[in-house]
Amino acid sequence: MPKALLLENIHPDAAKSLRDHGFEVETMKGALSEDELIDALEGVDLVGVRSKTSVTRRVLEARPTLSAVGCFCIGTNQVDLDFAGEQGIAVFNAPYSNTRSVVELVVCDIICLMRRIPAHTHHLKHGVWDKTATGSHEVRGKTLGIIGYGNIGSQLSVLAEALGMRVVFYDLEEKLALGNAHRCATLNELLEQSDAVTIHVDGRKSNTGFFGEDQFAHMKQDAIFINASRGFVADLGALKQHLDSGHLSGAAVDVFPVEPKKTGDPFETALADEDNMILTPHIGGSTLEAQESIGHFVSQRLEDYWEKGSTSLSVNLPQINLGDNRGVARIAHLHANLPGVLAHVNRVLGEENINIAAQSLGTEGELGYVVTDVSQRPSKAALEALRSIEGTIRMRVIS
């Protein structure tokens, strides 16, 4: 029976789905360190993580028989994707399942900061009746600047316009503007006109420190700032300086450069004493609806890969969307993207007079992936010949 390990309190529907597909499933609530993860992965075929557990090169080297990693979240920067691909370990994520949850949190942050709800709440908790309209605004008619116009940024754009906001956005890639949103040619163009600035960039290393002192300095007087993307993107020290100086009127931060591994761990931030500030513990995608959807989505990707060899929506392997086996056995052959590998595979099968019922090939960068449905199960000698083809990374037979 294949084994799956699910960490970080992944929705129970994921474990149920995997069990229904014949897996022995172990679940754990918290994240694991490198050494703990290496120990826990002994004999494990599939592992599921969220954002706190790092599946590093050292982990993958120690457990080379691991078949796939499921990231039950949007980001995949916690996994060494390149090395996983080199080892033939597929990685899947959930790029869309919690989009709405993140967008709704950002909309909530915008309205609360514009109305100075955190400041009013703080004053009442400390016995001060501060009934005033000073500094409070409607969001209607204000300009929202969205940095990163992907799945989250574009959906936020639509909801913000429905609230009566004017939307501008900046993205390094060419993006189709939705509704009446306007694309800015430069980041500074966006910053200088936005009443609210929100960041929705991905976790690539080049985004480290992307938003710092210079960017904060270009923001409008009394603007608000929101980061619900990655903790290493924004300089929180610079943010605090611009809040303390009165340049910015408020901020919401959901992600931090260093975050605790599990619920209940202590956490400190210099932003805690700010007046009009919303601090949340990386809960942008943490709704029951989103976690249930992610649980279904990623577990299905893992099941399809294990049972069919399908790599559809994998983030590190060539993508092939496969249906049911049309032969007696299915041979999944992952290899370096070298010329002639497909011909070698077919030659080995031909030498045993094995008929090919169906065949799919995909290549991506340095990797190639060929999946062949055959009319009879190859002999041990044929399987060994397939494994011996130059450039072979991983080969498995799926019945």
Type of residue numbered 9: N
Given the residues 230, 301, 330, 344, the one annotated as active site: 230
Given the residues 11, 115, 116, 282, the one annotated as active site: 282
In terms of Cβ atoms closer than 10 Å to its own Cβ (0-12, 13-18, 19+), residue 289 is exposed
Taking 70 as the pLDDT cut, the residues of the chain under it are none
Q: Is 259 a catalytic residue?
A: yes
Tell me the domain boundaries of the chain: 1-97+287-316, 99-279, 318-399
Q: Do domains 1-97+287-316 and 99-279 have the same CATH topology?
A: yes
Q: What is the CATH number of domain 99-279?
A: 3.40.50.720
CA-wise closest residue to 137 among 225, 224, 246: 224
Rounded distance, CA 363 to CA 361, Å? 7
How large is the C-alpha radius of gyration of the chain?
25
pLDDT at 68: 98
Rounded distance, CA 123 to CA 347, Å? 77
The superfamily (CATH) of domain 1-97+287-316 is NAD(P)-binding Rossmann-like Domain (3.40.50.720)
What is the DSSP annotation of 284-337? Answer: TT-SHHHHHHHHHHHHHHHHHHHHH---TTBSSS------S-SSSEEEEEEEES
Rounded distance, CA 161 to CA 41, Å? 47
Given the residues 259, 292, 307, 364, the one annotated as active site: 259
Q: Is 282 a catalytic residue?
A: yes
pLDDT at 23: 97
CATH architecture of 318-399: 2-Layer Sandwich (3.30)
pLDDT at 370: 98
Q: Is 230 a catalytic residue?
A: yes
pLDDT at 205: 83
- The number of helix segments (H) and strand segments (E) in the chain equals 13, 16
pLDDT digits over 297-312, tens only? Answer: 999 999 999 999 999 9
Type of residue numbered 73: C
Rounded distance, CA 353 to CA 50, Å? 46
pLDDT at 344: 96
